[in-house]
Amino acid sequence: MNAAIVTVGNELLAGDIENTNATWLAEALTDRGVDVARIVVVPDDEQVVAARVGAWAGEFDAVLVTGGLGGTPDDVTMPAVAAGVDRELVVNPIAERDVQEKIDRIYAENPDLDFELRAEWYASMPADATPIPNPEGLAPGCVAGNVYVLPGIPEEMKAVFDNVAADFGGSVVTRTLYSPEPEGALASPLGELTDRYAVRVGSYPNRSADRTRITVTGDSDAVVSEAVRWLRERTDVGLESAPGSGRPDGEGTVGESAESG
């Protein structure tokens, strides 16, 4: 299974906030064995979002869109996704009922609230989409075909994703190794490795720890294991386990860890 991530927001493009949603989603999908093939940041522009979603919905198994949900003028994601998947934008009755209950509670708990909240602002989504409950906020997500729409607030995005996490799975296998050799010294054997085996290779120097992290990724555990064995015979890679899951954290011993979905 492969996937693409679309993050929506002018504030991301301006550098006002860090794009932590894309990083979190990429890690969550990779941990489930999904091949994350593309990540893009687009502005709060309905035509731009619609074009990107429409193109990628036909190219990848799943497209995850985060940001731009709500009741403000720059919240254009739902109408954009509807246009991108060629569906009408409608008020989903299930989502509307859930949102209205939350709005009623907000007004009951805040009787002096002096601005309007309308359920249809948050419950509008592509026709025939399946709402995804948002336990952390007002705006639900939705699934329209193979397009998953998630809120932009990180806590809400994570909570909504957790409700559909079971939809994502794959057979991508990644092995992470650590070597004291500098990255330049590994260029030749890593190049030969990709010529010999159907794997993707990444190398990431960590100068403060005097080591290089190497990732070997493929669709077959047997192929990845054989590629790792070949690499170990030709490079200085130890056998001790690095701490943690194998993700880059800057500290650890020379060794290997494995991740698969």
CA distance 192 to 66: 38
Q: Which of 167, 183, 200 is the last residue of a domain?
A: 167
Series of mean pLDDT values for 10-residue runs along the chain (261 residues): 96 96 96 93 97 97 95 91 97 95 92 88 96 94 97 96 91 85 86 93 79 86 90 70 39 41 47
CA 157 from centroid of its chain's CA atoms? 10
Q: Are residues 142 and 246 in the same domain?
A: no
Check whether residue 146 and residue 222 sit in a common domain.
Answer: no
Last residue of a domain, one of 150, 167, 184: 167
What span, in angstroms and rounded, lies between the C-alpha atoms of 82 and 91? 12
Residue 247: its pLDDT value, please? 45
Residue 197: the pLDDT is 94
Domain tally for the chain?
Answer: 2
Same domain flag for 147 and 220: no
Q: Are residues 75 and 99 in the same domain?
A: yes
SS3 of residue 152 by DSSP = coil
Same domain? 43 vs 162: yes
179, 159: one domain: no
Could you tell me if 100 and 16 lie in one domain? yes
CATH code of residue 147: 3.40.980.10
How much is the CA Rg of the chain, to the nearest whole Å?
22
Claim to verify: residue 102 and residue 84 sit in the same structural domain: yes
Same domain, 121 and 147: yes
Q: Quick one: three-class SS letters along 39-103?
A: EEEECCCHHHHHHHHHHHHCCCCEEEEECCCCCCCCCCHHHHHHHHCCCCEEECHHHHHHHHHHH
Q: How far is CA 97 from CA 67, 103, 165, in A?
A: 22, 10, 24
**In CATH, what number is assigned to the domain containing residue 192?**
3.30.1370
Residue 7: per-residue pLDDT: 98
Answer yes or no: do 78 and 161 share one domain: yes
Residue 183, amino acid: E
Question: Are 12 and 131 in the same domain?
Answer: yes
Task: Tell me which of 151, 167, 183 is where a domain ends.
Answer: 167
What domain range includes position 190?
173-260
Q: Are residues 58 and 122 in the same domain?
A: yes
Nearest to 213 by CA among 243, 240, 241, 247: 247
Q: What is the pLDDT of residue 31?
A: 87
* Helix or strand holding residue 132 (H, E): strand 130-132
